[in-house]
Amino acid sequence: MHWSDEALVLGARRHGESGVVLELMTREHGRHLGLVHGGRSHKLQPVLQPGNSVHATWRARLDEQLGTYTIEPATSRAARLMTSPLALYGIATLTALLRLLPERDPHPDLHAMAEALADHLDEPDLAGPLFVRFELALLTELGFGLDLASCAATGATRDLAFVSPKSGRAVSAAAGEPYRDRLLPLPGFLIGQPRGNRPSPQELDHGFALTGYFLDRSLYDPQGQHLPDERARFVALAIKQAE
């Protein structure tokens, strides 16, 4: 068995004295692990940092085996990300969220979004809004997508202002007003606000609160886990830098 694919490095765990078990988010093969002989060498260690993109070739005798990777660097982002705390907490959160995906289950769209997000994690204007959109896409890919196209009560497609925490569907401002303390605010940048417009810190806060609520309720809480600590630090910095 063997294949080659593009991938984002999620992390590497030591294996023996010189090897590592590498975790990649590949384009066609999903989140996939494999052994890298000599992965702790001076040559490979900088390449196998989370956030870098690589060309990976995986080989194994049987499909169900861990297999071994041969790695070639494609895009080195780690050194740039290291200069920004926002980017570092962002990459830690991004890799933690991608670990929610089952192994070897292809999610090419999510891979593309993760690559784009990794490219912009050190840009305060883009990192926050892109991250909220990535979390929405992750929820959708895992079967817990939100329906933000029309109002759950009236069917209206305009003036949407809330999200129902029960159904995950949008609610218009008029229909939601009597229940506003029980609904989650829906920030404008998620529903048609022109792309050039920068979301306000409050909108960003609402965006992260929205995705955080559903990530916790649908994915983390059922497993007895909490949202990663790094996410809270990333959100705090993203909101602070949006001010």
Partner 1 sequence: MSRSVAGPEIERLIQLMARLPGLGPRSARRAALHLIKKRETLLGPLSDAMRVAAERVVVCRSCGNVDTSDPCTICTDAKRDPSLIVVVEDVSDLWALERSGAVPGRYHVLGGVLSPLDGVRPEHLNIEGLVSRASEPGVGEIILALNATVDGQTTAHYVTERLSHLPLKITRLAHGVPVGGELDYLDEGTLSAAIRSRTAF
Site residues (vs partner 1, CB under 8 A): 10-13, 17, 23, 45-47, 49-52, 73, 76-83, 85, 88-89, 91-92, 95-96, 228-230, 233
Cβ 111 to partner 1, closest distance in Å? 19
Question: How far are the Cα atoms of 9, 25, 33, 61, 179 from residue 105, in angstroms, in the given order?
Answer: 16, 10, 12, 20, 39
Smallest distance from the beta carbon of 209 to partner 1, in angstroms? 22
Place of tokens 């260690």: 45
Look-up of token digits 């630090």: 233
- Nearer residue to partner 1 within complex by CB, 47 or 190: 47
Which of residues 153 and 236 has its CB atom nearest to partner 1 in the complex?
236
Residue nearer to partner 1 on the CB measure, 82 or 148: 82
User: Minimum distance from CB of 11 to partner 1 (Å)?
Assistant: 4
Sort residue 38 into left (φ over 0), alpha (ψ -120 to 50) or beta.
left
What is the C-alpha to C-alpha distance for residues 147 and 131, in angstroms, rounded to an integer?
A: 18
CB of 215 to partner 1, least distance (A): 15
* Smallest gap from residue 38 Cβ to partner 1 (A): 15
Minimum Å distance from CB 176 to partner 1? Answer: 36
Q: Which is nearer to partner 1, 89 or 189 (CB)?
A: 89
| Residue with smaller CB distance to partner 1, 30 or 51 | 51
Of 27, 49, 54, residue with least CA distance to 113: 27
Q: Which amino acid is at 48?
A: L
Q: Burial code of 63-89, b = ≥16 C-beta within 10 A, e = fewer?
A: eeeebbbebeebeebbeebeebebbbb
Under 8 Å between Cβ of 35 and 15:
yes
Q: Minimum Å distance from CB 137 to partner 1?
A: 20
> Which of 17, 63 has the CB closer to partner 1?
17
Place of tokens 């196209």: 149
Q: Which is nearer to partner 1, 35 or 151 (CB)?
A: 35
Largest CA distance in the chain: 63
Sign of the CA dihedral with 150 first, then 151, 155, and 158 last:
negative
